[in-house]
């Protein structure tokens, strides 16, 4: 009567959503100050003022028919030109507006790229820990997910395992750096070695293996950490970008896919991306926010607040004896749970202390919890005694 696969996707709520629902109920019961929600990836800093100014300017100065009208399926030409100019300024690559396809955010970018490339049975390699929706997107396109475990303790890539995992059927590899949930930024060395392996394998199998750079957290890095730009290292790289995190606009659904000319058969791949968007009903990206990002292309929210949160939470948790790698980017800590079963550990934290933490299993790793620090500073302060109690419970 309906598609069983879609029903499963719709009815099996993700762990994160279940925890969220638990938190909402507890808030109703006990009030907001009694619940410590470290489960979400919703930016806690506001969009920069330039976003609001851009919306007001556009609505005051331009015709509503133009502002709210259909754009080309690829996105407004001037906006794409602005994006190209920005990429050309910032990176060692030359792109033009026709390399960009504007999308409704990173998830849409990934789905369009995945459907554009996948034939049934094609393999997609992901690096654990990974964003759980990758599996859903690849399987819905009739592809197969192959996982590569992380190199511990630094959550860089286990290159030997990576090489073993590549096969004749490998269509593409998804990299998410800075990484959700580990906060790791893949280093230049990691990227260099990984792309060397890919080049070797492309030659060996005689067909391209695409690298999908899933980069919503590119701008969310701390100190002088550099995030290698993958198209500079590997020609068959397709970039999936979103403004959800850099401009704190996750609900507005705005991002892009970039298919540089250097990609094998780039024009055909770009057409297939457009076709994938069309086949899923993505007529165009939201038109007002296309214009907004065109005006705010190099802006970014005030991420100092995330750094302050990271320093407090990382410093305090490690002082308490929790094990965790210091994250260079994104806004998550990936902390070893104090018992091997992360689900059980997070359940106890939730039920005893109203600490909402995400167990790591759905990210493809066991024995960790994801602690989001895109939250209010004072909530972290108030939660620290609870983390301390929780630690003592295991001593």
193-232 binders of its own copies (CB under 8 A) = 207-208
149 vs 208, beta carbon nearer its own copies: 208
Written as one string, the DSSP assignment of 167-179 is -TTEEEEEEESS-
**Judged by CB under 8 A, does residue 46 bind its own copies?**
yes
Among 45, 300, 379, 386, indicate the residue that binds its own copies (CB under 8 A).
45
| Interface stretch with its own copies, choices 123-131, 195-203, 245-253, 379-387 (CB under 8 A) | 245-253
What is the token pair recorded at 179? 């990484």
Nearest to 110 by CA among 136, 128, 144, 86: 136
Do 256 and 87 meet the contact criterion of CB atoms below 8 Å apart? no
- Tracing tokens 């030997």 back to the chain, one arrives at 160
Among 84, 87, 95, 112, indicate the residue that binds its own copies (CB under 8 A).
112
Among 265, 298, 344, 351, indicate the residue that binds its own copies (CB under 8 A).
265
**Judged by CB under 8 A, does residue 174 bind its own copies?**
no
**Judged by CB under 8 A, does residue 102 bind its own copies?**
no
Beta carbon of residue 205, minimum distance to its own copies (angstroms, whole number): 12
**Judged by CB under 8 A, does residue 352 bind its own copies?**
no
**Judged by CB under 8 A, does residue 140 bind its own copies?**
yes
Beta carbon of residue 114, minimum distance to its own copies (angstroms, whole number): 9
**Judged by CB under 8 A, does residue 44 bind its own copies?**
yes
Per-residue contact string for residues 276-295; x = within reach of its own copies by CB under 8 A: xxxxxxxxxxxxxxx-----
Among 175, 194, 272, 305, indicate the residue that binds its own copies (CB under 8 A).
272
10 Å Cβ neighbour count for 377? 14
**Judged by CB under 8 A, does residue 253 bind its own copies?**
yes
**How many residues are there in the chain?**
395
How many Å from the N-terminal Cα to the C-terminal Cα in the chain?
A: 53
**Judged by CB under 8 A, does residue 117 bind its own copies?**
yes
10 Å Cβ neighbour count for 1? 4
What is the token pair recorded at 192? 């260099």
227-243 burial by CB neighbour count: b if 16+ within 10 A, else e?
bbbbbebbbbbbbbbbb
94 vs 167, beta carbon nearer its own copies: 167
242 vs 227: CA distance, rounded Å: 16
| Interface stretch with its own copies, choices 264-272, 304-312, 329-337, 340-348 (CB under 8 A) | 264-272
* 3-class SS of residue 244: coil
């Amino acid at each position: 009567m309906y598609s069983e696969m879609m029903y499963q996707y719709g009815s099996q709520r993700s762990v994160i959503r279940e925890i969220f629902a638990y938190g909402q109920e507890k808030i109703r019961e006990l009030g907001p100050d009694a619940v410590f929600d470290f489960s979400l990836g919703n930016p806690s800093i506001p969009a920069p003022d330039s976003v609001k100014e851009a919306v007001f300017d556009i609505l005051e100065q331009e015709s509503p028919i133009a502002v709210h009208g259909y754009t080309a399926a690829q996105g407004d030409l001037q906006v794409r030109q602005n994006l190209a100019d920005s990429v050309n300024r910032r990176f060692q690559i030359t792109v033009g507006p026709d390399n960009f396809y504007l999308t409704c955010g990173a998830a849409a970018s990934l789905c369009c790229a995945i459907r554009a490339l996948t034939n049934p049975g094609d393999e997609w390699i992901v690096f654990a820990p990974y964003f759980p929706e990758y599996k859903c997107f690849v399987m819905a396109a009739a592809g197969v997910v192959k996982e590569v475990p992380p190199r511990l303790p630094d959550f860089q890539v286990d290159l030997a395992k990576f090489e073993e995992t590549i096969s004749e059927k490998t269509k593409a590899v998804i990299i998410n750096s800075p990484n959700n949930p580990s906060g790791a930024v893949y280093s230049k060395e990691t990227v260099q070695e990984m792309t060397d392996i890919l080049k070797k394998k492309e030659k060996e199998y005689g067909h391209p293996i695409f690298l999908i750079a899933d980069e919503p957290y590119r701008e969310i890095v701390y100190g002088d950490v550099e995030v290698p730009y993958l198209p500079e290292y590997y020609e068959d790289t397709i970039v999936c970008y979103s403004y959800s995190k850099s401009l704190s606009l996750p609900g507005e659904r705005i991002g892009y896919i970039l298919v540089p000319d250097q990609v094998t058969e780039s024009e055909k791949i770009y057409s297939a991306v457009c076709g994938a968007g069309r086949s899923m009903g993505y007529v165009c990206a939201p038109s007002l926010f296309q214009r907004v990002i065109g005006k705010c292309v190099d802006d970014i929210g005030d991420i100092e607040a995330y750094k302050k949160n990271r320093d407090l939470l990382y410093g305090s948790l490690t002082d308490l004896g929790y094990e965790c790698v210091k994250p260079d980017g994104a806004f998550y800590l990936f902390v070893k749970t104090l018992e091997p079963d992360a689900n059980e550990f997070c359940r106890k934290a939730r039920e005893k202390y109203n600490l909402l933490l995400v167990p790591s299993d759905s990210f493809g790793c066991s024995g960790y919890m994801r602690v989001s620090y895109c939250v209010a500073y004072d909530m972290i302060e108030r939660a620290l005694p609870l983390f301390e109690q929780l630690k003592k419970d295991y001593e």
